[in-house]
Amino acid sequence: MPWEEATIHISSVGHASVSAAFEGVHSYWSETRGALYGFRFRDHMQRLLDSLRLGRLEPEFDADALVAAAAELLASWDSRGKDLYVRPWGFARGTHKEQMVPRGTPAEIAIETWEFESKLGRGRTCTLAVSSWPRFNPGASPASMKVFSNYHNGRLGNIDAQARGADWPVFLNGAGNVTESSGSCIALVKGGRLITPDLASGVLDSITRNTLFRLAEDELGLSVETRPVERTELYLADEIFLMGTAAEVLPAVEVDGFPIGDGKTAGAITQALESCYHDTVRAVTDKYDAWLTPVPAA
Ligand code: PMP
């Protein structure tokens, strides 16, 4: 519906939002094919439904219906030559005077979109700082749930990292091991191996991480280690990068003042992965077409 016609009752904001879940999805213009493609739409919609179910809300749509709705929304845009971000989110239906949304409340689903230009292949880099705020305990609030309430910890980490002159935080868990950043996962390269914290460390089951590791193995013949990662491994890494739907592949050149690689540019493996990711999301190759949802032209 047109933006100006959309209304939500004021009492839907507040305690009713505690259980609200969301997704960040990217769709990319393919110059090669002259069309817009949604990237891994179904996996994102399934994760949204999983987040809602874990929060005991009852979505009334299945993943295929949500994929079709997102494609219909995108088809209504003049998307020629543009990349669009898609933000599906789900929240408890009705207005809630009680503090806690009860189990079994139906979930409303809304899907928004806006222009979001990809930065792949632009030579972007970032700097990192280990957050003085530890990551929330995944035993208390599961990291696998992409709920808005999990993001306040991320916000505190962002502010903390920026106050110390870095772009993004890296959170440690209660054991002092590396988890993720505020809106992206992290991987390091050491001796030609790709290493990333395992899910039990307390990280979101990132769709970009899953994509990149498949590309690393299939396209670059690299081996991937998923395991607890110590903070000191970051300082001694050959390469480090963040990864996520919005971050895409974002090379880090410094952590807590330790230079990574030459301290200025992305390492060779990170660059190769970024290039494979570009060719996949922009449909240069047809090898991963199963991950792409074609969007009909407006
Ligand atoms: N961790 C957090 C906390 C995030 O918000 C995101 C972005 N959704 C990610 C990791 C990366 O997940 P994905 O690759 O599925 O976007």
Say what the ipTM of the complex is: 0.99
Residue in 276, 3, 282 with CA at minimum distance from that of residue 117: 282
Structure tokens at 229: 């990662």
Is the CB of 88 inside a 6 Å radius of any atom of ligand 1? no
pLDDT at 72: 96
Best residue for ligand 1 mutational test, from 47, 87, 208 (most atoms within 8 Å of Cβ): 208
Taking residues 112-119, report their average pLDDT: 96
The ligand 1 atom nearest the CA atom of 47: 15
If you average pLDDT over every residue of the chain, what do you get? Answer: 95
CATH 3.20.10.10 maps onto the chain at 126-281
pLDDT at 18: 85
Residue 151 CA to ligand 1 centre (angstroms): 11
Residue 98 CA to ligand 1 centre (angstroms): 31
Instruction: Tell me the pLDDT tens digit for each residue of 61-112.
Output: 999 999 999 999 999 998 899 999 999 999 998 866 777 888 999 999 999 9
CA 273 to chain centre: 17
Strands 126-130 and 248-255: parallel
Is the CB of 180 inside a 6 Å radius of any atom of ligand 1? yes
Instruction: Tell me the pLDDT tens digit for each residue of 154-174.
Output: 999 999 999 999 999 999 999
CATH 3.30.470.10 maps onto the chain at 3-117
Architecture of the domain spanning 3-117: 2-Layer Sandwich (3.30)
3-state class (DSSP) for residue 273: helix
Residue 5 CA to ligand 1 centre (angstroms): 30
pTM for this predicted structure = 0.96
Residue range 126-281, CATH number: 3.20.10.10
